[in-house]
Amino acid sequence: MTADLEVPGSWRDYGAAGLPSPLRAALEAFVEHGYHGTSVREIAARAGLSVPGLYHHYPSKQSLLQGLLELTMADLLRRSEQAIAEAGDDRLAQFDAVVESLLRFHMYRREQAFVGSTEMRSLDGDYRPRYIGHRVRQQRMVDEIVLGGVDAGVFVTADPKGAARAVATMCVGVSTWYRVDGELGADELIERNLEYARAIVGYVAR
Amino acid sequence: MTADLEVPGSWRDYGAAGLPSPLRAALEAFVEHGYHGTSVREIAARAGLSVPGLYHHYPSKQSLLQGLLELTMADLLRRSEQAIAEAGDDRLAQFDAVVESLLRFHMYRREQAFVGSTEMRSLDGDYRPRYIGHRVRQQRMVDEIVLGGVDAGVFVTADPKGAARAVATMCVGVSTWYRVDGELGADELIERNLEYARAIVGYVAR
């Protein structure tokens, strides 16, 4: 299982997802009918491949799901790491960066986020821990920044990890209702949610 | 479609969900395999019924999904209304009540919440607007309390509806990770999240 999706440009840039066509076809089918409601035949047809042609690259429906989620998480983690690195040493800037990265990903990759959250149930037992590890790693990025900010006196909260969890929950949940083509602009949504996230961790401007 | 599930006792009390056995069987199957990955035969077997016996009460798989989501939303809405009514005229008490109600529901009815959020895609077009109407009604309860609180000077936020949406997103999202049998106690989680919710809407204790 390789995860070498290129992220061109900034962590803020979201164009087409750039998935290989079998994974794009699997994504569309899983979003519409779920993993268990989708056949390999349907995915092959959507990808414009024969079933043997599809199996040549992905030997099972499970490998399509795993390949899709592996690329999804690699993309999210790389963007978040890049955002945090760019923010430098300032705790608040790091916090804003990881929150913005989580928000953008869950606004612009909502279909991938949907499959990730709904089809964890469908992952084979030998891969599932790896996938959960990716999610834990993302949460740890938020945890560490909030914990560091509390140590530095930038944030004031009695339960830094609980606050970090609430922030991530709010950002991830945006994927359940935000529409890129809707009325609410992306930058406005991000600006507002940065305020809410700062309020959750008890940031007081000085 | 009737929705007359009894809610015994307080809006805070969560025992067994009290679903009719065909709906309980449908819930379990949809959680495991999704709507499209589940057959009526499987639901009948789980409910200990013959397929004709199941069809006698629910004439289609779609009617099982609709029946389940209708009872789920009726339960949520009734609890939230009861919580708000008990809170009396105080805006902050109303806010705390609706937040706690949302949190408890998404902690104790996480499987129903999961099917509600994942299988909206599977609802027939003639029922879907009714279901979305229920969800909008729940959101409006939060919106109105936050708007009223801002008017009364209890909350300070530039975008009351945006803040209300963020609060609801955080509460609903708890269903994606909270485990009733996990380490984090329900009352502790509620207490923390009430703090975060108050922070989002800009409540300043006086």
Instruction: Report the chain B residue with the minimal C-alpha distance to residue A172.
Output: B173
Q: What percent of chain B is modeled with pLDDT above 70?
A: 96
Summarize pLDDT for A51-89 with one digit per residue, the tens: 999 999 999 999 999 999 999 999 999 999 999 999 999
Phi-psi region of A166 (alpha: psi -120 to 50; beta: other; left: phi over 0): alpha
More confident residue, B2 or B9: B9
Q: How far apart are CA B102 and CA A123, in angstroms?
A: 29
Chain B residues within an 8 Å CB radius of A176? 117, 169, 172
Give the pLDDT score at B1: 43
What is the overall mean pLDDT for chain A? 94
Q: How far apart are CA A192 and CA A184, in angstroms?
A: 11
Summarize pLDDT for A133-153 with one digit per residue, the tens: 999 999 999 999 999 999 999
The alpha carbon of residue B76 is apart from the nearest alpha carbon of chain A, in Å, by: 19
Instruction: Specify the 3-state DSSP secondary structure of A8.
Output: coil
Residue to test with chain B: of A110, A142, A184, A195, most B Cβ within 10 A:
A195
Which residues 6+ apart lie within 8 Å of B132 measured at CB?
A: B120
Fold of B69-200: Tetracycline Repressor; domain 2 (1.10.357)
Check whether B148 has a pLDDT greater than 70. Answer: yes
The 10 Å Cβ neighbour count of residue A83 is 23
Q: What percent of chain B is modeled with pLDDT above 90?
A: 88
Chain A residues within an 8 Å CB radius of B106? none
ipTM of the complex: 0.92
More confident residue, B9 or B149: B149
Answer yes or no: are the C-beta atoms of B111 and A170 closer than 8 Å. no
The 10 Å Cβ neighbour count of residue A53 is 12
Report domain A68-200's class. Answer: mainly alpha
Measured distance between the N- and C-terminal CA atoms of chain B, rounded to whole angstroms: 48
The alpha carbon of residue B113 is apart from the nearest alpha carbon of chain A, in Å, by: 12
Instruction: Report the chain A residue with the minimal C-alpha distance to residue B115.
Output: A118
Summarize pLDDT for B160-198 with one digit per residue, the tens: 999 999 999 999 999 999 988 888 899 999 999 999 999
Q: What per-residue string of b and e applies to B68-84 under the rule 16 or more CB within 10 Å gives b?
A: bbbbbbbbbbbbbbbbb
Check whether A9 has a pLDDT greater than 80. Answer: no
Residues in chain B whose beta carbon is closer than 8 A to a beta carbon of chain A?
31-38, 114, 117-118, 121, 158-159, 162-163, 165-166, 169-170, 172-174, 176-177, 189, 192-193, 196, 199-200, 202
| Mean pLDDT within A161-176 | 96
DSSP assignments along B85-99, one per residue:
HHHTT-HHHHHHHHH
The pLDDT-based confidence of A16 (bands split at 50, 70, 90) is confident
Q: What share of chain B is helix, strand, coil (3-state, %, to 5)?
A: 70, 0, 30
- Residue from B132, B201, B23, B92 nearest A199 by CA: B201
Give the pLDDT score at A121: 95
Answer whether B169 sits within 8 Å of A169, measured CB to CB. Answer: yes
Give the pLDDT score at B180: 84
Measured distance between the N- and C-terminal CA atoms of chain A, rounded to whole angstroms: 48
Residue with tokens 């599930």: B5
Check whether A1 has a pLDDT greater than 50. Answer: no
Summarize pLDDT for B34-91 with one digit per residue, the tens: 999 999 999 999 999 999 999 999 999 999 999 999 999 999 999 999 999 999 999 9
Answer whether A193 sits within 8 Å of B166, measured CB to CB. Answer: yes
Residue ranges of the domains in chain B?
A: 69-200
The beta-carbon neighbor of B173 closest among A38, A169, A200 is: A169
Check whether A7 has a pLDDT greater than 80. Answer: no
Check whether B29 has a pLDDT greater than 50. Answer: yes
Summarize pLDDT for A117-131 with one digit per residue, the tens: 999 999 999 999 999
| Mean pLDDT within B18-27 | 96
